[in-house]
Amino acid sequence: MKSVVSTILMLVGLAHCAFAQEAETSKAYATETGLSYYSQEEMKGDAYRQEMCVVDLYYPTEIIDFPTIVWFHGGGLTSGERYIPEYLKNKGFAVVAVSYRLSPKVKAVDCIRDAAAATAWAFNSIEKYGGSKRLIFVSGMSAGGYLAYMIGLDKEYLAAEGIDANKIAGLIPFSGHAITHFTVRQEMGIAGEQPIIDKMAPLYHVRADAPPLLIITGDRELELLGRYEENAYMMRMLKVAGHERVKICELDGSNHGQMEYAALPLLVREVQALTKEIKGFSK
């Protein structure tokens, strides 16, 4: 689904709508930094895990049952730092910005395990801050989109943390690999231009009962490698498998580095729409 500049500008305005009343009545937000998502016992004696396996939590202090976005940074699983996108602030929901261990100090599978542990922390902790664990959304940019895909589609990672992946309210990956990640392939001695689909590929775990998905990529002619095409195939195979809540949005004119800024309003709108739907069902 191609988007044009006018559509994106319109969405920027729409992104403020669903929580506008709540946001206007509450201007108070707090941030807590460096919160460990593994137990002290799990981190004992592991200085690298102690350093990297933490989150920053940004949340509203005068809103109850707010949604939460778990946000994974990009960087190819080899670099990058956690951050809270400015556009996601003051929107009536919380953001959990995640740090995770990086290759080559650990294997890529450990990045996924960290992502699952951080997401489980959000499920287990957000009610203490006033949020709703029924409204946990998972998103991220590039490598972060891959992590969102993996923990949302391959249920074993969150199951190891005692969480059913189907409890995720929505998956919104930004330009994530749907095939096996190039860093995983590098670990296997496979060139980045040689695509494979194995257990480390989100596509391997296509299933009809996965959480709702909004897949966002940059322009197919400007994106990194074949990132649009593999995500389009993900969308198609989910539909073939019987999934009824998957959409893809291609951001015209945006390359891989630029697409995050155009995609954030779409993330906000999706969180707002699904939150309204989930809260409506619970009445």
pLDDT digits (tens, 9 = 90+) for 47-70: 999 999 999 999 999 999 999 999
**78-to-105, 140, 182, 211 alpha-carbon distances in Å:** 9, 15, 11, 28
Q: Are 115 and 100 in contact, with CB atoms under 8 Å apart?
A: yes
The Cα–Cα gap between 161 and 141 comes to: 23
Six-digit token pair at 235? 């969308």
Q: Count how many domains the chain has.
A: 1
Instruction: Provide the pLDDT for residue 192.
Output: 86
Q: Which residues of 226-249 are buried (b: 16+ CB within 10 A; e: fewer)?
A: bbbebbbbbbeebeeeebeebebb
Quick one: average pLDDT of 12-41? 69
pLDDT confidence tier of residue 6, bands split at 50, 70 and 90: very low
* Alpha carbon 276 to its chain's center: 19
Quick one: average pLDDT of 215-239? 97
pLDDT digits (tens, 9 = 90+) for 229-240: 999 999 999 999
pLDDT, the chain, mean: 92
pLDDT digits (tens, 9 = 90+) for 156-179: 999 999 999 999 999 999 999 999
Is the pLDDT reported for residue 123 higher than 70? yes
Encode 129-171 in three state secondary structure.
HCEEEEEEEEEEECHHHHHHHHHHHCCHHHHCCCCCHHHCCEE
Q: Is the dihedral of CA 191, 196, 200, 202 positive or negative?
A: positive
Task: Look up the domain containing 215 and give its range.
Answer: 2-281
Quick one: average pLDDT of 128-132? 98
Percentage of the chain surpassing pLDDT 70? Answer: 89
Instruction: Provide the pLDDT for residue 169.
Output: 98
CATH of the domain at 6: 3.40.50.1820
The Cα–Cα gap between 67 and 130 comes to: 10
